[in-house]
Structure formats: C-alpha cells, structure tokens
A and B are shown apart, each in its own frame.
Chain A
Amino acid sequence: MLSVYKYIIKRSLLAIPTLLGVSMIIFGMLYLAPGGPVEVMMSSQPASAEQIQDIRQQLNLDEPIYVQYGDWAWDALHGELGRSWSITQGTAVNDLIIQRIPLTAELALLSMILAIAIGIPAGIIGAVYQDQIADHAARVVALSGISIPDFWLGIMLIVVFGVQFQISWASGSWIPLSESVTGNLKHLIFPVITLGTAYSGLIARMMRSEMLDALNGGYIRTAQAMGISNRTIVFRDAAKNAFIPVLTVIGIGLARLMNGALLTETVFNLPGIGQLLVTSIARRDYRVIQGIVLFVAVIFIVSNIIVDVLYAYLDPRIRLSGGD
C-alpha cells in the first residue's frame, strides 16, 4: 500500500498552488476594502488621522502589499496566522480557531452521522420500492430536508421547543464537553437536527439514484440467477456500489460543516468557527477572517484527499498511482 502514501504526498504537493492562490485572494480583500481596513475598523468611533496612522503603523499596513503578504504568508507557512486586530485584540488567530474546533467538529460529525443514518436507508428504501408509497414518502422527506432553509428550521425548533414547551436546552448557551457530556449533547440536539436533515435529504436523493443504477447492473441479475437472496443483493451487491459516489457528497458535506455552519451556529448561539467568522466579518478583523478562510481551504483539500483514498479503497477499479 506504498502507493497510497505516494498518492497522498503527490496530492499534497498539488495543493500548494491552490493554497497559494487562495491565500493571495483572501489577502487581496484587505487591499480592496474601501478606505483601508483601519478606517472601516474605526468607523464606529471618532478617530483622528493621527490615531489611524498609529494603528496603520502598528499593524504594518504602511508597507507595500506584497511585503505584507510575504510576511503573513511566511508566518502562515510556519503555522502562525497572526494576531487578532479587534476587541479580542492580541489573541493569536491560531488560538481563536483551535478554541472553536471542538464544538464545530462535534457538530459536524454528529450532524453528518444523523444525515447518513437517515439518508442512506431512505435512499435504499426509495430505490427498492421505486414509485411505491415508501418511495414517495422518502422523497417528500428528502425534498423537505433539502428545501427547508436551515436557519428557518433552527428558529422553528427554538420557537416550538424552547419558547412553547420551555425546554431549557432547546436554546441558550452551549456547555463544553469537558464540563458535562449530557449537558453538551442536549444542547446540540436541535442544531444537529437542523443541519442533519438538510444533508440527509441530499444523501437520500443521491443514494436513491445510485441505488437505482446499481440495481440495474448486470451483476444483480447474475447474483439473482445464482439464488442469492434479495436482502443480500440489495445490501451487499447494490448498496456497496451505490455508496461509492455518495461518499463524495458526504466528504464535501463534512468539510463544509467543519468550516462552521454560519447560520445554525448564529441561530443557536454556538461559539463555533462559523460564529467566529461572522463576528470577525462584522468587526473587520481581517487577520481572523484570513486565518479562517485559509483553514477552510486546508480542510477542503485534506477532506478531498481522504475521500479519494477511501474511493480507491472501496472501488478497486480506481488504482492509486504515485507516479506518472
């Protein structure tokens, strides 16, 4: 399995230009902001030109853009994303992101587990009972999941369970896992439902169409002619083939969730990466924004590599080659 390592190294090297491009674009935002970031930062409070000049000097904004970029990129290369400019001033961006990762990762994982737990069986049922009542029911559920905006579902859950039924953990503040496992999980139930249903719809639709494809495969007929039971044919023969493309959706979905669910985290007041991004944008805290976007890009690249490796593991027709 040496080829797998070779493949990962090759893909990682290919990621360098991507990251370079992403970092340049996100750094360019700073240059493009009208009046410069400091003016935007200070716009809420009266500030003299001298004060602005002071801050500009402090933040090295007087240097030419390529020098600034070079400094920042050099630090980023060493895993140092700089320091926040705003109220949390001075805090290392690394620390800000690292603090938020556990919550966001937990939310992402639980949501995806829920989405898979609903989506895969719903897709299989839809395909096996194609055009029958079970299929229609699964389709309605899936399409609702896709169509309902997650912030709306979140707000509705809070209104119904938090406000009407007065369930304390339906809304309100989040408790870290280290403090109370049950308390932590309780507070995540509704956010997980909100995010999970959205992705379950997507997974269900994809799984259904892939299952229909797989069930038409010649190998299904072969298995039937050999007396293999229908249950085995559906779950072992068809589902494994159908799952491979669905894995891409799951991988990308998980990467997106890892980058923080902006709206859901805001609605449920969860201090995750999404919420950090929203507040940083509001405060024009460019260093934090840049850090998060770079983090996002890295997560996407890594998850894509993981998906590709899993793909090759599940589908023997795809051979990983380190060479060529």
Chain B
Amino acid sequence: MLLILVTKESNRLMTEKILEVDNLTTSFDTEEGTVRAVNNISFSIEEGETMGIVGESGSGKSVTALSVMRLIESNGSIENGTIHYRGSNLLEKTESEIQSIRGSEISMVFQDTLDSLNPVYTIGTQINRVIRKHRDMDNKEAREETIRLLEQVGIPNAEERIDDYPHQFSGGMRQRALIAMAISCNPSVLIADEPTTALDVTIEAQIFEVLDKIQHETGMSIIVITHDLGVVAGVCDFVNVMYGGEIVEKSKTDDIFGDPQHPYTRGLLRSIPRIGKEEDRLRGIEGNVPNPAALPSGCTFHPRCPHATDECRQHDPSLQEVKRNHRAACIHIDGYKSLHKEDKEIIINDRKKGESDD
C-alpha cells in the first residue's frame, strides 16, 4: 500500500512542467501611454494537459499567448518575467532560435479569419513548407505527410483538396487546415486562440474532437484561449480566468464551475444562459472591461464588483490559495462564506435546476 503511494507520488513528480510562465508582464506603447496588457501573470502546464485561459476580449489572454510565442508587435515588449520551455527561458533565445521553436516545439492555431491562410498559395504549399522548414523531408515526402495530416484533421478527399486554395475551403475546413499546419511538426505545446469562435456549434465540437484525438496520440499539451466557458467546461483540465491583464482565479475546471471564488468568475458563470430556464433577459456583468490604458486603482474589478469595499479600491489583491490547487485574487475570499452566501446559493440553485432539467 505504502509502496503504491510512493510510486504514485514519484510518478507525479516525474511529469514534467513543459511550459512555465512566471511573472510575465507585457506592455505596449500606445498614444494613450504605456499600456500593460498582461500584468504579472504566472502559470504552468504539464505534458498532455489542457489548460484554458478564459476572459472577455481585452482581458489580455491573446497577448499572453503571443508573448509565449514571442510574437508581440513592434510597439510592445515583454517587460518582465520568464517563460521556460523544457527548462530554458524563451525570452533569452535569439530570433533564429525562437523561429526553430515556433511551429515545431510550440505551435499556435489562430481563429480562422478569411485571411489566416495566404490566399495566393494552395493549402498544400503552405503546410508543406512548414514541414520542410522543421523536419528533414524532401518535397515529395512532405506532400505525403501533408495529405496524412489533412486526413488526420478530418478533411475528406485530402489527396485532391491539398491543391485547393484557401477560398475553396469552408470556414470549418480552413480551421482544420490551420490545425493540420500547427501540428505538422509534432509540437509539444499547442496554443489554440479562439479556434472555434467563427464556427457553428456542430463544427466546434468536431474541431475539439480532432484536437482531443491528436492529444491522445501525441501527448501534446494544449492551451485553449477562449471567452466561451462552454468550451472550457468541455475540454480543459484546469482554467485561468483573466481580467484586466491579470489572472484573477485559477483552479481545476470542476472547481471553477462547482465552487467559483472570484466575483468576476461568478459573474461570468451566471451570464451563461441555461436552456429550459425561463428568464426575461440575459444576466451579464454590469459595466465594461476596463480600458487597459487607465486601469482602476486597487482591484481592477472593483468598479463592476457588487461586493466592492474601500479596501478593494486601495489594495490590488494577489492570488491566494483558497484550497488545494484553487487560487483566487479577491480580498473577500476569507469571509467568502458569510459575504457571498447569497451569490453562492444562487449558483448552487442554478446548477441544481440545470441538472434537474437535463
């Protein structure tokens, strides 16, 4: 019994932190002054895990992803922090070193916009060159590999469609092609930035099915960036909730949905409409995402928070452990039970109702 426990524990230790981001701060020079789009955030991901970064637009989640890829636009810079991939700091790599990591070790899938693939080259050409850049293959081998990849992501008639141009593909097919390109060199980490936002729900499910299948086959880690809590619930092992450039809550997916701590997370959860529940209108969070150029003092969420006190206006709370593997940045967490009892009841009732509806 003891032996089993020990082996289990050592196994746990064996699993490598494949990507570790510590105290990352990314800022941009804009006309309104220096803007901190990402402010002192940390997270890490292990092999084979799926992590979610969830937040409204403007919360800094895409900038986080682009920082990891070192693809921040020229008016922006990573001010502080480290990004360790397999133990070495990506921020210390030269441009050519980082180019050999991008696409082959850490890869990224963007939301399919009409121009996320180059309109003047065929799908095959575009995937082919990524393969030849990172893998030791000649043109013919790379073409066969491209066909295999297109089949893997579920494109029918891949042998013919490889010579199509992007405009001949539907949105869902283009997204699949983008995934095929991103996984073409067996990356260890795949960052998917709103990979299904442009697609309808059926296609969304198919896309995540494809990603899930590939993850099982290759053991890659996936970071899903989304504003959609439904996506998080469906695919992520654990979640980081971002607001105003900071991570305000992080935990396992089940805990976020079952026992949300931060008022913002709770607001997000309550804003999900439930099928079968009669509601006159959608419940959202009052107010707007703060302008990153003029973040509120103290806790960035306080202007929208129903529980804000004077303390919130002065102190910027850091993440604190609520329980094992669950942290949130709210000074009211200790007194959570008494202060937010009402809220909690609403959520629990909502969930019960949702379950009984199912």
Q: Answer whether A and B are interacting partners.
A: yes
Q: Do residues A316 and B167 form an inter-chain contact, with CB atoms below 8 A?
A: yes
Confirm or deny: B99 has a beta carbon within 8 angstroms of a beta carbon on chain A: yes
Distance from A226 Cβ to chain B, minimum over Cβ atoms (Å): 4
Q: Do residues B133 and A223 form an inter-chain contact, with CB atoms below 8 A?
A: no
Confirm or deny: B138 has a beta carbon within 8 angstroms of a beta carbon on chain A: no
Q: Do residues B119 and A227 form an inter-chain contact, with CB atoms below 8 A?
A: no
- What residues on B are CB-neighbors of A229 within 8 Å? 96, 99
Q: Do residues A219 and B69 form an inter-chain contact, with CB atoms below 8 A?
A: no
Q: Do residues B103 and A227 form an inter-chain contact, with CB atoms below 8 A?
A: yes
Q: Do residues A222 and B181 form an inter-chain contact, with CB atoms below 8 A?
A: yes
Confirm or deny: B36 has a beta carbon within 8 angstroms of a beta carbon on chain A: no
- What residues on B are CB-neighbors of A221 within 8 Å? 71, 110, 116
The 29 listed contacts between A and B (C-beta, < 8 Å) are: A217-B115, A218-B110, A219-B117, A219-B118, A219-B119, A221-B110, A224-B71, A225-B103, A225-B110, A226-B107, A226-B181, A226-B182, A227-B99, A227-B101, A227-B102, A227-B103, A227-B130, A228-B99, A228-B129, A229-B99, A240-B120, A241-B118, A241-B120, A244-B120, A316-B165, A316-B167, A317-B119, A317-B165, A317-B167
- What residues on A are CB-neighbors of B117 within 8 Å? 218-219, 222
Q: Do residues A222 and B116 form an inter-chain contact, with CB atoms below 8 A?
A: yes
Contact of A241 among B69, B108, B119 (CB under 8 A): B119
Interface size on B, residues (CB 8 A): 30
Distance from A36 Cβ to chain B, minimum over Cβ atoms (Å): 57
Please, which residue of chain B has its CB at the minimum distance from the CB of A229? B99
Could you mark each residue 160-196 of chain B with 1 if its beta carbon is under 8 Å from any beta carbon of chain A, else 0? 0000010100000000001001100000000000000
Confirm or deny: B344 has a beta carbon within 8 angstroms of a beta carbon on chain A: no
Could you mark each residue 85-110 of chain B with 1 if its beta carbon is under 8 Å from any beta carbon of chain A, else 0? 00000000001100111111001101
Give Cα distance in the complex from A225 to B181, angstroms: 10
Apart from A219-B118, A228-B133, A229-B99: 17 A-B pairs, beta carbons within 8 A:
A218-B116, A222-B110, A224-B102, A225-B103, A225-B182, A226-B130, A226-B182, A227-B99, A228-B99, A228-B130, A229-B96, A244-B120, A314-B120, A315-B119, A315-B120, A316-B120, A317-B167
Give Cα distance in the complex from A240 to B117, angstroms: 14
Give Cα distance in the complex from A232 to B134, angstroms: 15
Confirm or deny: A80 has a beta carbon within 8 angstroms of a beta carbon on chain B: no
Please, which residue of chain B has its CB at the minimum distance from the CB of A315? B120
- What residues on B are CB-neighbors of A228 within 8 Å? 99, 103, 129-130, 133
Q: Do residues A225 and B133 form an inter-chain contact, with CB atoms below 8 A?
A: no
Interface centre among B104, B113, B119, by most A CB within 10 Å? B119
Instruction: Using A227-B130, A317-B119 as known contacts, say yes or no to A222 and B178 having CB atoms under 8 A apart.
Output: yes
Confirm or deny: A39 has a beta carbon within 8 angstroms of a beta carbon on chain B: no
- What residues on A are CB-neighbors of B129 within 8 Å? 228
- What residues on A are CB-neighbors of B95 within 8 Å? 230
Interface centre among A224, A241, A314, by most B CB within 10 Å? A224
- What residues on B are CB-neighbors of A106 within 8 Å? none
- What residues on B are CB-neighbors of A240 within 8 Å? 120
Could you mark each residue 123-147 of chain B with 1 if its beta carbon is under 8 Å from any beta carbon of chain A, else 0? 0000001100110000000000000
Contact of B116 among A219, A227, A241 (CB under 8 A): A219
Give Cα distance in the complex from A227 to B101, angstroms: 7
Could you mark each residue 301-316 of chain A with 1 if its beta carbon is under 8 Å from any beta carbon of chain B, else 0? 0000000000000111
Q: Do residues B115 and A226 form an inter-chain contact, with CB atoms below 8 A?
A: no
Give Cα distance in the complex from A237 to B129, angstroms: 12
Give Cα distance in the complex from A226 to B99, angstroms: 8
Of residues 194 through 245 on chain A, the ones whose CB sits less than 8 Å from some CB of chain B are 217-219, 221-230, 237, 240-241, 244
Nearest first, the 10 A-B pairs at minimum CB distance are A227-B103, A226-B103, A227-B102, A218-B116, A219-B118, A225-B108, A316-B165, A218-B115, A226-B130, A227-B99
Contact of B119 among A224, A225, A226, A316 (CB under 8 A): A316
Distance from B191 Cβ to chain A, minimum over Cβ atoms (Å): 8
Please, which residue of chain A has its CB at the minimum distance from the CB of B117? A219
Distance from A14 Cβ to chain B, minimum over Cβ atoms (Å): 26
- What residues on A are CB-neighbors of B107 within 8 Å? 225-226
Interface centre among A219, A244, A316, by most B CB within 10 Å? A219
Give Cα distance in the complex from A226 to B190, angstroms: 11
Interface centre among B115, B129, B134, B178, by most A CB within 10 Å? B115
Distance from B272 Cβ to chain A, minimum over Cβ atoms (Å): 29
Give Cα distance in the complex from A230 to B98, angstroms: 12
Instruction: Using A226-B107, A316-B165 as known contacts, say yes or no to A218 and B120 having CB atoms under 8 A apart.
Output: no
Distance from A127 Cβ to chain B, minimum over Cβ atoms (Å): 13
Give Cα distance in the complex from A222 to B110, angstroms: 7
Give Cα distance in the complex from A240 to B126, angstroms: 14
Please, which residue of chain A has its CB at the minimum distance from the CB of B127? A226
- What residues on B are CB-neighbors of A241 within 8 Å? 118-120
Distance from B225 Cβ to chain A, minimum over Cβ atoms (Å): 13
